[in-house]
Structure 1
Amino acid sequence: MDQVVGGTGSVQVATPEIQKICDEVKPQVEQKTSRTFEVFVAKSFATQVVSGMNYFIKVQVGGEEYAHLKVFQSLPHAGHKLELLSVQTGKTLDEPIVYF
């Protein structure tokens, strides 16, 4: 099923491209949460087509703790820049990724 502009797609297993996005925004996550993460591994994600792309990413941040990231990637003409829009900590592996 094709994704509708503005709607979120289905949750998928994280890819190397998603891990790269996480690696790039990790300093922003650490700044926003005032924490340092030794572990920062993307596990799953969903996308939302906007004027660019929103990524909703579940990241393992240590042990059984996970965080949900909302990352915006601009369109090609704007340089495909990444911006951390929001982060939710204290999540679990089983908690679904939802719009936030």
Structure 2
Amino acid sequence: MASHGMCGGLSEAKEATEEVHEICRGMKVHAELKAGKTFEVFTAESFRTQCVAGANYFIKVHVGGDEHVHLRVYDGGELELTDMQHPKSQADLIEYF
């Protein structure tokens, strides 16, 4: 069993919290720029975290229909969208990227 306190590893996937919804809202415009399109829906569903100098959030976001994207957001005092995977499906697990 991986320890939650272990730095470097990803936490278990959890349902999106209010904090994660807030992060997601702040990242929508950045995600749209990366994807080159506008998302009608942009709702965080679940997330995993990675303890680094700050924290990485890996967030599964519903963007309408059956489509999802995975965001990697770095929180080192300020939030930054560092990477995004798309398109993803509801069934895709959040993995490190």
TM-score bucket (shorter structure): over 0.9
Q: Structure 2: 5+ residue runs without aligned partners?
A: none
Corresponding residue number in structure 1 for 2:35: 33
Q: Structure 1: 5+ residue runs without aligned partners?
A: 75-79
TM-score (norm 2): 0.94
TM-aligned CA deviation for residue 38 of structure 1 = 1.1
Give the Cα–Cα distance (whole angstroms) in 2 for the partners of residues 73 and 56 of structure 1.
11
Q: RMSD in angstroms over aligned alpha carbons? A: 0.8
Q: Deviations over 1:9-58 (max 9, x none)?
A: 00000011101000011111111111101100000000000000000000
Correspondent of 2:25 among 19, 23, 26: 23
Across the two proteins, how many residue pairs are aligned to each other?
95
Alignment of 1:55-94 (within 5 A): 55-74=57-76, 80-94=77-91
TM-aligned CA deviation for residue 3 of structure 1 = 2.7
TM-score (norm 1): 0.91
- After TM superposition, the runs of 4+ consecutive aligned structure 1 residues lying more than 6 A away are none
